[in-house]
Structure 1
Amino acid sequence: MSHALTPALFLPKPVRGCIGIVAGTASATHRAVLHPAGARGQHGLSPAHASQRGVALVTALILLVVLTLVGLAAVRGTIMQQKMTANFSDRQITFQVGEAGLRQAEIEVQGVQPSAPPGRPSLPATIRDCSPKATTVIKCPANPLTDSTLPPANIKTVAPTSFNAGSLASGPPQYVIEYMGNFSGPTPSVLDLGSKGRTYSCNDSPTSPSKNPCADFYRITVRSGPADGTDRSTVVLQSVYRR
């Protein structure tokens, strides 16, 4: 404390005492508050930063978890979209193959000699007679491909020489042809003046005789795709063909 009391040597005694007391008090207070420069805590950190250790690590881990979840969601959405696109493409191919089967079955129906009432058409063994006045009246279900009583020979497969489905399709289409009867057709859009006033007696028409010409009607059912319910698409198409 000699340096703090040196200026007081040239002052009167009362003043010298006051300065000494004040200087001593200030020196004592200064020693109690200040810390040596470069002081560190127990773990080598200053007291101001001691309570913040580990915060950056926790924040980084939280961000890493969030980014991982976002990445997994994006990958899952991409895989789902790929599956949906593949299913849609497979169904479109199967549908087009089924339509080709319909065209092939219609070609076969065109080769059947039409009936001339009161006669009936000469049906091949592969075409089932479902007409109301058939020799053996049977109840034909809406989908003959699921009928256990249908003879296997009636389910025909399109030959590759007639239509090649290609490697993208699951297989060639199959079809069933059924004769539904001889009925009066719809009113023609063009009037036949030569047959004005003429009536037609159709074999199976409940409104016979009719002013509309008679026609043979066939029901064609086509299945494209596997029948055992695998992961490939299966499409069933049906049309009524007027002969």
Structure 2
Amino acid sequence: MNSAIHPDRRAYIRAARRQRRHQRGAALIVALVLLVVVAFVGFAGISLSILQNKATSNQYGRQVAFQNAEAAMRSAAALIPSNPAIVARDCQLVGIVCGTNPFTDSTLPAGSVHGVQATNPVAGAGFTVSTLAPMQPQFVVESLGNWANSQGSANFTNTANARNYGVQGSTTTAAYYRITARSCDPTNSLCAGAALVVLQAVIKRG
């Protein structure tokens, strides 16, 4: 019996072997491509997680700074009636120009920026530093002068609706103040890298 392999079959075997080698090479390339894709996806997920953590940290710092500035504003409002000396200047006087932000106003009188102290004669006007708030917030109080404060006899403001109900308003005056507060002093090293929040409000006294 002739056991020799037919030439066509021999060629077929060689072709099949080459095809298997090509298939193994293609599988290796596909595996490497998939590995690279998975690595990129993993790096992207890590970067996104880091960015989210930073955003959360920044937002938290911003909220703490906002609360500190609010505390300074409440402290200033509480101190005005009993401590008129904290008023920096009267913006109603001729020749006095009060800028939008007194903290950056070069004409602001020296000693007009006040820090909220831990101990204060007015209840609720103190501020205690902590690891979250390493320094006292600050405020500037400016007088806007006395202006009409129309108030009706039935505690209605002197408006068209009040007059429709027959309320007669009696015109009085009230003192108005502008309070500008910030969470910390940006020139202080304790404030370096921290969020800075500046708030401003006009309040009425009297």
TM-score scaled to structure 1, two decimals?
Answer: 0.65
- What's the counterpart of residue 26 of structure 2? 55
Distance 1:72 1:186 in 2: 65
| Equivalent position of 2:161 in the other structure | none
Residue 94 of structure 2 corresponds to residue 130 of structure 1: no
1:75 and 2:46 are equivalent in the alignment: yes
1:139 aligns with 2:97: yes
User: 1:100 & 1:163 partners in 2: Cα distance?
Assistant: 7
Question: Does 1:190 find its partner at 2:161?
Answer: no
Q: Which has the larger radius of gyration?
A: 1
Higher relative contact order (CA 8 A, sep 6+): 2
Q: Any residues of structure 2 matched to 1:1-243 within 5 Å, and which?
A: 31-35=6-10, 41=14, 46-112=17-83, 123-124=84-85, 126-132=86-92, 134=93, 137-161=95-119, 162-188=126-152, 190-191=154-155, 211-228=170-187, 230-243=192-205
Q: Is the 8 A contact 2:152 2:170 kept in 1?
A: no
> How far does residue 221 in structure 1 lie from its aligned partner after superposition?
0.7
Q: Is the 8 A contact 1:226 1:232 kept in 2?
A: no
Q: CA deviation at 1:49?
A: 2.3
* Unmatched tracts of structure 1, length 5 or more: 4-26, 113-122, 193-209
Percent identity for Structure 1 against Structure 2 = 34
Q: How many residues align?
A: 182
Conserved 8 A contact 1:156-1:174:
yes
Matches of 1:68 and 1:212, distance apart in 2: 75
Q: CA deviation at 1:83?
A: 0.8
Q: Is the 8 A contact 1:127 1:177 kept in 2?
A: yes
Please state which structure has a larger fraction of its residues in strand.
2
Distance 1:166 1:51, change over 3 A: closer
The alignment's C-alpha RMSD in Å is 3.0
Q: Give the Cα separation in 1 of the matches to 2:35 and 2:146.
A: 75
After superposition, the C-alpha distances for 1:53-96 in whole angstroms (9 at most, x for unaligned) are 41121111001000000001101110111111011111111111
Contact persistence 2:101–2:180 (CA under 8 A): yes
For residues 95 and 31 of structure 1, the distance between their equivalents in structure 2, rounded to whole angstroms, comes to 89
Alignment CA distance shift 1:215-1:50 (3 Å): closer
Letter in 2 for 1:95: F
For 1:220, the aligned partner's letter is I
Unmatched segments (≥5 aa) in structure 2: 120-125, 157-168
Counterpart of 1:153, as a letter, is G
Q: Could you tell me how far apart the structure 2 residues matched to 1:70 and 1:179 are?
A: 59
Q: Per-residue CA shift, 1:141-171, capped at 9, x if unaligned?
A: 1211110121331100111232114211242
**Greater than 6 Å deviation, 4+ residue runs:** none
Deviation readout 1:169-205 (Å, 9 max, x if unpaired):
242110011111111114358349xxxxxxxxxxxxx
